[in-house]
Amino acid sequence: MDDPVDARLAAEVSRDPRATLAQLSERVGLSASAVQARLRKLESTGVITGYQAILDPEAVGKPLAAFIEITPLDPRQPDDAPALLEPIAAIEACHSVAGDAAYMLFVRVGSPRELEALVSEIRHTASVNTRTTVVLQTFYEHRPMLPLPDAGE
């Protein structure tokens, strides 16, 4: 994905995935058909991997978020923590990281009580120690990955 028009298109669609082809065609300066073809290509080549509606965590009953770093109890054991934890729906993201811990999770729950239960579940499901950092306030998240090529005109 090096074409500047593709980059622009990806930036536009990542901000507003429900825009019509006509709207996108205005913004990138191509015909709707051309935009459509490029979009399909971006999807099929895996540049666009999916679409998502962003929900207000409080409104859907998940006001509490936290980062949980996890470290295997026994470094000798085979380590498939990500796979073991994958069924737990409260886990929104799972990365392996460089640093003190082996993995970093991002989780959302409804209450401190639920967080306690979740941490406990993670510990005994994956045989790990945990270090939890509670989110007090989210200033912003889900910001677009690509900058909009500055809007001249």
Query: Is there binding between residue 30 and DNA (CB under 7 A)?
Result: yes
Q: From 74, 72, 73, select the one nearest 82 (Cα to Cα).
A: 72
Beta pairing partners, 104: 69, 95
Q: Is 17 in the site for a copy of itself (CB under 8 A)?
A: yes
Contact 15, 51 (CB under 8 A): no
Q: Residue 54 touches which of DNA, a copy of itself, none (CB < 5 to 8 A by kind)?
A: a copy of itself
Can you give the length of the chain in residues? Answer: 153
Interaction with a copy of itself in 56-95: which residues (CB under 8 A)? 56-57, 59-62, 65, 67, 82, 86, 89, 91-95
Q: Pick one of DNA, a copy of itself, none as the site partner of residue 110 (Cβ within 5 to 8 A by kind).
A: none
How far is the C-alpha of 124 from the C-alpha of 72, rounded, in Å?
11
Judged by beta carbon, residue 30 or residue 81, the one nearer DNA is 30
Strands 64-72 and 103-109 turn out to be antiparallel
| Binding to a copy of itself, residues 18-57 (CB under 8 A) | 18, 45-57
Instruction: Give, rounded to a whole angstrom, the gap between the first and last alpha carbons of the chain.
Output: 25
Decide if 61 contacts 108 (C-beta within 8 A).
no
Which residue in the set 1, 16, 31, 97 belongs to the binding site for DNA (CB under 7 A)? 31
* Of 152, 149, 115, nearest in space to 135 by CA: 115
Given DNA, a copy of itself, none, residue 111, with its beta carbon under 5 to 8 Å by kind, binds none
List interacting residues with DNA (CB under 7 A). Answer: 5, 20-23, 29-34, 36-38
List interacting residues with a copy of itself (CB under 8 A). Answer: 1, 7, 10, 13-18, 45-57, 59-62, 65, 67, 82, 86, 89, 91-99, 101, 104, 106, 108, 133-147
